């Protein structure tokens, strides 16, 4: 929510709340905002630092370009990181670490030359490219901050 101090040509001032600055723009240009004192539709924003109220929950943010002015909530990145950690943990618990033999093993499994199972490991960029060219399914896990230690 964003609060604007609005004014009409007669010098009346009033405050109004909008979901985003874009909502003010849309309503003002559609003539939906009128002065509560004289009914004038010629409303303009008065110079005032807008008050912004943001929720601290992790509800999906609107992709309205005009909400960019709202500061990024630090909680979002943390929640995303936690989700990523959980996914990685589940993969680590349910797969066999084949280390640098990853590409070789993935290929063997794909072509039925090795027992079908979940594996994890590392591969070079070249190996990853040839795997995808051969149609071997695999995923790349993004590095977490702790992996870089």
Shortest Cβ 71–Zn ion spacing (Å) = 33
Select the span of 8-16, 102-110, 115-123, 129-137 touching Zn ion (CB under 5 A).
8-16
Residue 38: count other Cβ atoms within 10 Å of its Cβ. Answer: 12
Q: Indicate whether 6 belongs to the interface with Zn ion (CB under 5 A).
A: no
Size of the site for Zn ion (CB under 5 A): 7
CA atoms within 13 A on the CB side of 129: 3
Q: Within a 10 A sphere around the Cβ of 45, how many other Cβ atoms?
A: 15
CB of 144 to Zn ion, least distance (A): 57
- CB closer to Zn ion, 41 vs 77: 41
Q: Is 37 in the site for Zn ion (CB under 5 A)?
A: yes
**Contact region with Zn ion (CB under 5 A), list: 22-30, 38-46, 89-97, 117-125:** 38-46
Considering only the stretches 11-19, 60-68, 100-108, 130-138, report the one whose residues sit in contact with Zn ion under the rule CB under 5 A: 11-19
Decide whether 15 or 96 has the Cβ nearer to Zn ion: 15
In this structure, the strands spanning 2-7 and 44-45 are: antiparallel
Binder to Zn ion among 15, 17, 25, 38 (CB under 5 A)? 38
Partner residues linked to 97 by β-bridges: 120
**The two structure tokens encoding residue 8:** 């009409």
135 — alpha (psi -120 to 50), left (phi > 0) or beta?
Answer: left
Which backbone phi and psi does 90 adopt, to 5 degrees?
A: -65, -35
Residue ranges in contact with Zn ion by CB under 5 A: 8, 10, 12, 35, 37-38, 40
């Amino acid at each position: 929510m964003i609060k604007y101090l609005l004014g009409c040509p007669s010098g009346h001032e009033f405050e109004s709340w909008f979901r985003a600055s874009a909502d003010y723009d849309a309503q003002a240009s559609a003539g939906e905002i009128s002065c509560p004192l004289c009914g004038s539709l010629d409303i303009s924003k008065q110079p005032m630092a807008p008050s912004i109220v943001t929720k601290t929950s992790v509800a999906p943010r609107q992709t309205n370009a005009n909400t960019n002015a709202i500061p990024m909530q630090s909680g979002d990145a943390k929640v995303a990181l936690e989700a990523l950690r959980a996914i990685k943990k589940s993969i680590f618990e349910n797969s066999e670490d084949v280390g640098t033999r990853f590409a070789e093993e993935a290929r063997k499994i794909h072509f039925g030359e090795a027992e079908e199972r979940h594996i994890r490991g590392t591969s070079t960029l070249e190996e990853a490219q040839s795997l995808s060219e051969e149609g071997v399914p695999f995923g790349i896990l993004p590095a977490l901050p702790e992996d870089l230690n």
